[in-house]
Structure 1
Amino acid sequence: MSVDVFPVSSGQERMWFLSRFEPDLAVYNVCLWMPMPRDADPELVEGALAALAKRHEPLRTTFDFRDGQVVQLVHAGVPAALATTDLGALPAPEREAEFDRIARDDAGRPFALDTAPLWRARLVRLDEDDLRLVWICDHTVFDGASSAIFVDELYEVLAAAAAGRPPDLPELRIQYADYAAWQCGRLTDEFLAGELRYWRRRLDGLPADLGLPADRPRPAVRTYGGGLHLFSLPPELTARVDRLAKALGVTPFMALLGAFKAVLARWAGRDDITVGCPMSGRVLPELEPLIGMFVNAVLIRTDLSGDPSFREAARRVRGTLLDAIDHQEMPFERLVEALRPQRDLSRPPLFQVAFNLVPSDTRGQIANGTTKVDLSLDLNVREGRMHGRLEYATDLFDAGTAERLAGWFQEFLAAAVRDPDRPISALPLMDAGERERILAASRGPSMPLGAGTVLGDLLTGAAPDGSTAVIAPDGGTLSSGELHARANRLAHWLRSQRVGPETPVAVCAERSPELVAGVLAVLKAGGVYTPLDSDHPWQRLAALVADSGARLVLTQSHLSGRLRNLPARLVPLDEDAAWRDLPDGEPARVNRPGDAAYLLYTSGTTGRPKGVVTTHEAIVNRLEWMRRSHPPGAVVLHKTPISFDVSVWELCLPPVCGAALALATPGGHRDPSYLRDLIKERRVTTAHFVPSMLASFLAAEGVEECRSLRQVICSGEELPRDLAARFADRLPDAALHNLYGPTEAAIDVSAWRCEPRASGPVPIGRPVPNTALYVLDERMAPVPAGMPGELHIAGVQLARGYHGRPGRTAASFVPDPFGPPGSRLYRTGDLARRRADGAIEFLGRADTQVKAHGVRVELGEIETALAEHSRVERAAAALREDAPGGPGLVAYAVWSGDPGDITKVLRDHLSRRLPPTVIPQAFVPVEALPAGSSGKLDRAALPSPAGAGRRTLGTGYRAPGTPMEEELCAIWRDLLGRDRVGALDDFFELGGHSMLVVELINRVRAAFGVELPLRRCFEITTVEGYALEILERRLGGQDLDRLLDDVAGEPGP
């Protein structure tokens, strides 16, 4: 048969390239099914399909790459083979599921664009009255609008054949190839330059990512896996949206897009919202009846800053949409090439969310398990009701998230039509019932506390007098009776020094039995325990003592010399002559639940420490909750410096629950090997670690011998999932608990027991008894499950406030709109979201999230990926102003390999796990990561990355070093029109683009006999990368790294 060759349209060229990029995926299949007349036999349907293929040239078109250009080949005819399937033999209840399976299978097979036809059809009979046609066509020759044309014309051809008459179809004055030729002539350099000027202005500063909170980190390379959620709006809401659009002077499309954008803005927490919308591209009347690929993606960017009303938001959307329509002929692929966003295989370029109001019926669309973007919402009105198809990337989102998003959209629309003049932030995303369920899930269970109970009541000794209460660092022990006797005598002496309620007493001592007795004595005396870290500079300690107003500092004689300048009286705990002969009975209780129990200083954003005042009621609730899981006979490790809040429960829990307290030697909390030995020797059952220290502890040899451990508590930092999994592998008999809470709420207010085989982020859990955890928006309104917000704490564990700082207290402790009059909320500054099961996920500090290349970045995600490398013991990431080449991300690693290899090895490692936008610019090997006295990573103390290598390979010229690199450089010079190309130069940075990559693949095939997949060429973008890839493919799967090591005379890793 004859074949005619024509140029392709811009849309066809884009689809051809994308098909080459993902040849094994059916991402760009158009898939639908339609009911057939019950008596339509296969021969009749096959004839109708052949008639339509004869009428519409795209249905008999294939594609080829010739002389550096994609061309379309229009065949005189194509085989119209029709597959048939009869499900009549199956039980009736099973037929629908089997039909779905067959349809999805047909839809999931990609087409080879050089083989005709680029469509397939199957006639499926479910029963005598139910006959269906499954139609799958490649997007290169068929767009969404073509579906309605195809269905209408197929029905007409079938009806005409049945009636014995010619079909009544509109005349086709032109064919698709005519349109392609017309478009090629229209898209002149001058025309495109004018369009590009508009789009450059419109998209200036466009973020690389919309920043939607995903259920999983974005993979380095997207899989295109997709899920589908179907929903519908009530008829009355559909009608009201129509009426509202008319009242606002906008189209229904604009009103619906405005609502969708407003929901996205709330979800992402940003005002700059860009959504891709398909434009039909049928800009001439002659194009209306044609089947083919006309659609073009247009970016609709809307500024929703200033919290506009819905009326105003719709007006803004109208303006941006009308402007975009005026400039819709700029081919999307040309726009991408001109704007040159960073090549990123993890996300689609320029936009990740699509929206469309589809005029044709969407019921027959077949989901084939793929998606082109992160989220895509198609709306269609039929029979007076609006129906939605929400496709979502399964790389990022769970089905429940898509379902919630659809629910938010519906609730927002309903609120917007009721009151379009309310600010969009005030329009609810959930109904009253869901709001009440969210509030109920925000509150912890009720737990009775004894009336008037204060901490002294709990410390009176739950263990028998003869049981071991304290195990000193040197192995010496103190019984419960001895400990309380010492503490009581000292408490009586403190009373004689006018210590009582609201009297601060500083304690500055190293871990020792004297320290434990001193802390208990202050609390038994009714004073305010004020811990000071003896490792801190005396000037800082002097400032804290002065700020607290403490008149006494309980310390140790060997520390007295360096503390002698403190503005208070020093009382050495190991010189007890002043109280040795005082009574050892319990002092009378003088406290009330609202009295201050301890005053603990935390770092302040201004550099001035904040003293947090915690009441007896707050810490009693905390300890009562915790003691239920600690039976008598437990051994609790005390290793946290006393200036950190965790030390309060480490010191107070054992006497409360009758456990022994094992003390780590001063400084021992930083040594994983020492802690391993101590836990084994003291048979410790409960220990606390910040996650970064837990990682070092688990890396210690022999840690699995710590079989006495029953509970390990983590808090203070985000707990990575891989660390929880390593814990389960190394210590399978111990439970790992992830706790969360600030000093301002008596240490911890939520808890989660980690499940060894769970996936996804480790939650911080649910609120502990008598507390509440609310996730709120900027209006202090609860947000739906799945939506991020700021975490707020309520309940009995709230601190009184900041000592001597009423302004700061008022700013952080605000009225509780959900509690009784006079109750308060603490604003944590932490971002979180509530899962559907009620557990809360920590999303990071609102003030420490960083942005790189316009993308919001969680440093923990980078650190987790770094830690997965076998040569990385510990890792950290930071956004540094002094990064090589300007502000950017820097990675730090405790690295066991050759320091000279760290950049290449870790860059390659991360490139397989993370998007390129979040791969650090520099990699710095360090002997150890800086840590504060609590063991937490001290990010501010990370060293300067000066001198570290850049991530981008093309930052310096390196001449080709091998004959293969020389030949590749020559090919690049010819293709790119460059005088000089080096081994480290990046193809795209030198001006390469997608279609030029196709020609490069052809040149490589001719020169080296190697076929490079198109997708791989976007991952290896340098001459050096190509040379290694070609060599590896020539070696046929051998281990290239090991082979190169052998050639160099070095052992492999």
Structure 2
Amino acid sequence: SFAQQRMWFINRLDSSSGMYNIPLVLRVVGDLDVDALRAAVVDVVVRHEVLRTTFPDVDGVPFQLVHPAGEVAERLDWVVVDSVGGIEGAVAAGFVLQEQWPVRVRVWGSAPGEYVVAVVMHHIAADGESLGPLVSDLVAGYVARSSGEVPGFAPLEVQFADFALWQHEVLGSPDDPSSVIGGQLAYWREQLAGLPDVLELPADRPRPQVASGRGGQARFEIPVGVAEGISRLAAARGVTPFMVVHAALAVVLARLSGSDDVAIGSPFAGRGQPALEPLVGMFVNTLVLRSRVRGSESFAGLLADVRDTDLAAFAHSDVPFEAVVEAVDPVRSEAFAPLTQVWLSVEEARAAESVELPGGLELSPFDGAPALAKVDLVFGVYTAESGSPWSGAVTYAADLFDESTVVGFADRLVRVLSAVVSEPETVVGDIDLLDAVEHASIVSWSGAEASREPGLVTGTLADLVENVEPSFLHAIAVVDGERTIDYGELADRTNVLARELIRLGVGPEVAVAISVPRSLEMVIAAHAVVAAGGHFVPIGVDAPAERVRFILESTGADVLVVSAHAREAADRVDAGVVRVVEVDASAPIVGDTSTITDSDRVASLHPDHAMYTIFTSGSTGKPKGVTVSHRAAMAMLRADQEHYGFTSPEDVILAVLDFTFYPSVLDLFRPVLSQGKVVLVEQGE
């Protein structure tokens, strides 16, 4: 099958890895008949041809070689081990699929009357849904064999090899646009075009060059009230509980990664015919569900988008994940999975954790088996009947994460779900991901408690810009190479430019783009926008035209301030899109230099109005803008002043930060607090 082809290829790269093993590890309590168990395993392997199949190739093209049923009793990989290490080794060891059957069994007598049984299959021959028929057949076979009988299995209508032949015949070739698979691939190529190669989440360790597959598992719980809220929200919005959880997880991943482009993988059973239900085999498909998570959008809006995305994916689910990978052709790496590194499943919880067999045997899951991590994170949510909480588990890559970190991820998912089920119109960017302890830690680290003392963060930064102590008017404020400017001249040039901006309609909540090299002009431009009441948006002087246009469109800025000596950004903008204003610190001062107040502005300025917006680099997708208020900027400046002791006109600050890097605001406005001197390092130095 298509899925087996990828498993075969990965196995050829490294047959020693157990990353793609499907382990069934059971604790057996009671008087186990080990010989009857072995006979039952033989019966199961005889019944399911794929478990007695090797995968050789002819000229690099693999095929399924089904071995005779008569070989099973002698060839079965069955070992009775003497320690848990034998179980762990069987789970972690790889298979050489060209030579070995894709199944092994280990039995360990862990204590008198207690055993651990491990049936380990390779993913080329089984999937998670295969464990149901496997356990059912194994139990039926054991019950019969322990009674001296031959199990009376109902005949299977087809074998997995029949499915593989059918798949190629019905779906056709990926190279044929008129085939089923060819038509669906066109959708996936468009849907996943430009998807970031990796979703970079905050990890405890750097990603290794080759993923080891070592995993761990962290459990969590969705409280009753939240679980019932998910069901109510799903019913009210015409979606499934899976879609609600999917949208909430997309919010968490977007906020943790800083990317608005989030792809989540979801398993799709792929057993569309009744004849396939009792088979062991690799039918499962992985759908890549891509979401654009915009911080300004309501959760209800995101949920509607997720519904459309998920339904479209389900409508194109015939094409196997492996064919999608080939068609989209993402970066291939042994360090991370292609297209998506986070998976999600939402399914009903199993009815019982243990099974009782005749003869007093009791089967239950064995928790001591090592977890395997095929991707970075796999979120599993297990629904329950009304009035009961939902359980959850996150299988994580131990290469990257500690359990405590993953528990934090799960806690944030529950926190988002709790917020949105009660207020689905909540803006995504306003959802609080932090708990009370984290909030307290941030306050402690930042010194924000001190910044909240009465009178410390009142007013706006414009108040400080406009109200320099008269005794400092002749003190040097900024040094730019051979050019200097004192506080009096800085105030005059700021006021003249600010009044020009006000005449253009600049005021509170109005964005003004600034693309000026590190220079006197840069300081004047930023101060003038703040004095006018607007909020400035820095744009790199060497920014490509596409980025300039994107930032202007995102912020709605239709005024662009440039240096009279460097108009590069203006030249990259289509005529008529923005009004360009030049600033020149060397030109004569012409205009009204009087102090600007609210009476001069288009509207009153308040501390919670925006002061500036900084955009990210866009390395994880499209650039994202973060807007900072006067209140927040004032708190940052005050904390900086108190921490570093900028309190004297003798202070000298060396300004080296790029204007588009958010801490540069400290370099620009420290002087208005301490009346110190800023020395600008030349652009590019």
TM-score, structure 2 normalization:
0.65
- 1:120-519 paired onto structure 2 within 5 Å: 120-163=104-147, 167=151, 169-188=153-172, 189=176, 190-191=178-179, 192-305=181-294, 307-359=296-348, 361=350, 368=370, 370-381=372-383, 384-432=388-436, 435-436=439-440, 438-440=442-444, 442-443=446-447, 502-504=470-472, 506=474
Q: Which has the higher contact order (CA 8 A, sep 6+)?
A: 2
Alpha-carbon shift at residue 121 of structure 1 (Å): 1.8
**1:791 match:** none
Structure 2 counterpart of 1:407, one-letter code: D
Indicate if the aligned counterparts of 1:276 and 1:297 stay in contact, CA closer than 8 A. Answer: yes
1:413–1:335 CA distance, 2 compared to 1 (3 A): same
SS at match of 2:197: coil
**2:91 match:** 107
Indicate if the aligned counterparts of 1:26 and 1:107 stay in contact, CA closer than 8 A. Answer: yes
> 1:849-901 CA deviation, whole Å, 9 max, x = no partner?
24388799xxxxxxxxxxxxxxxxxxx9x9xxxxxxxxxxxxxxxxxxxxxxx
**2:16 match:** 24
Structure 1 counterpart of 2:53, one-letter code: T
SS at match of 1:25: coil
Whether 2:11 is the aligned partner of 1:14: answer no
Larger radius of gyration: 1
Q: Decide which moves more: 165-174 or 318-327.
A: 165-174
SS at match of 1:388: strand
**2:482 match:** 537
SS at match of 2:424: coil
Alpha-carbon distance in 2 for matches of 1:268, 1:256:
18
1:322–1:847 CA distance, 2 compared to 1 (3 A): closer
Alpha-carbon shift at residue 848 of structure 1 (Å): 5.4
Whether 2:600 is the aligned partner of 1:608: answer no
Alpha-carbon distance in 1 for matches of 2:278, 2:165:
18
Alpha-carbon distance in 2 for matches of 1:440, 1:294:
52
Alpha-carbon distance in 2 for matches of 1:318, 1:217:
34
Alpha-carbon shift at residue 397 of structure 1 (Å): 3.5
**1:84 match:** 80
Indicate if the aligned counterparts of 1:105 and 1:368 stay in contact, CA closer than 8 A. Answer: no
Alpha-carbon distance in 2 for matches of 1:301, 1:343:
19
**1:941 match:** 684
Structure 2 counterpart of 1:847, one-letter code: F
**2:617 match:** 849
1:323–1:85 CA distance, 2 compared to 1 (3 A): same
Indicate if the aligned counterparts of 1:250 and 1:318 stay in contact, CA closer than 8 A. Answer: yes
1:41–1:442 CA distance, 2 compared to 1 (3 A): farther
Alpha-carbon distance in 1 for matches of 2:610, 2:137:
65
SS at match of 2:283: coil
1:445–1:414 CA distance, 2 compared to 1 (3 A): closer
Alpha-carbon distance in 1 for matches of 2:427, 2:168:
46
Alpha-carbon shift at residue 256 of structure 1 (Å): 1.8
Indicate if the aligned counterparts of 2:40 and 2:142 stay in contact, CA closer than 8 A. Answer: yes
Alpha-carbon distance in 2 for matches of 1:402, 1:814:
40
1:232–1:134 CA distance, 2 compared to 1 (3 A): farther
Alpha-carbon shift at residue 131 of structure 1 (Å): 2.8
Indicate if the aligned counterparts of 2:201 and 2:256 stay in contact, CA closer than 8 A. Answer: yes
Structure 1 counterpart of 2:684, one-letter code: A
Structure 1 counterpart of 2:33, one-letter code: D
The alignment covers a number of residue pairs equal to: 507
1:102–1:828 CA distance, 2 compared to 1 (3 A): farther
1:318–1:445 CA distance, 2 compared to 1 (3 A): closer
SS at match of 1:197: helix
Structure 2 counterpart of 1:180, one-letter code: A
Indicate if the aligned counterparts of 1:107 and 1:366 stay in contact, CA closer than 8 A. Answer: no
Alpha-carbon distance in 2 for matches of 1:394, 1:814:
48
> 1:617-652 CA deviation, whole Å, 9 max, x = no partner?
xxxxxxxxxxxxxxxxxxxxxxxxxxxxxxxxxxxx
1:193–1:129 CA distance, 2 compared to 1 (3 A): same
Alpha-carbon distance in 2 for matches of 1:31, 1:180:
23
1:119–1:382 CA distance, 2 compared to 1 (3 A): farther
Indicate if the aligned counterparts of 2:261 and 2:621 stay in contact, CA closer than 8 A. Answer: no
Indicate if the aligned counterparts of 2:478 and 2:679 stay in contact, CA closer than 8 A. Answer: no
Which consecutive unaligned segments of at least 5 residues does structure 2 have? 354-364, 454-467, 494-517, 529-593, 625-655, 659-677
Indicate if the aligned counterparts of 2:192 and 2:328 stay in contact, CA closer than 8 A. Answer: no
- 1:690-701 paired onto structure 2 within 5 Å: none
Alpha-carbon distance in 1 for matches of 2:376, 2:90:
24
Which consecutive unaligned segments of at least 5 residues does structure 1 have? 1-8, 88-98, 450-499, 507-528, 551-601, 613-802, 817-824, 830-845, 857-875, 879-932, 943-1053
Whether 2:27 is the aligned partner of 1:38: answer no
SS at match of 2:63: strand
Indicate if the aligned counterparts of 1:271 and 1:303 stay in contact, CA closer than 8 A. Answer: yes
Alpha-carbon shift at residue 419 of structure 1 (Å): 2.7
Structure 2 counterpart of 1:536, one-letter code: G
Whether 2:31 is the aligned partner of 1:47: answer no
1:847–1:855 CA distance, 2 compared to 1 (3 A): closer
1:204–1:536 CA distance, 2 compared to 1 (3 A): same
Alpha-carbon shift at residue 129 of structure 1 (Å): 4.8
SS at match of 1:851: coil
> 1:323-344 CA deviation, whole Å, 9 max, x = no partner?
1111112122222222222444
Alpha-carbon shift at residue 252 of structure 1 (Å): 2.2
Alpha-carbon distance in 2 for matches of 1:253, 1:850:
30
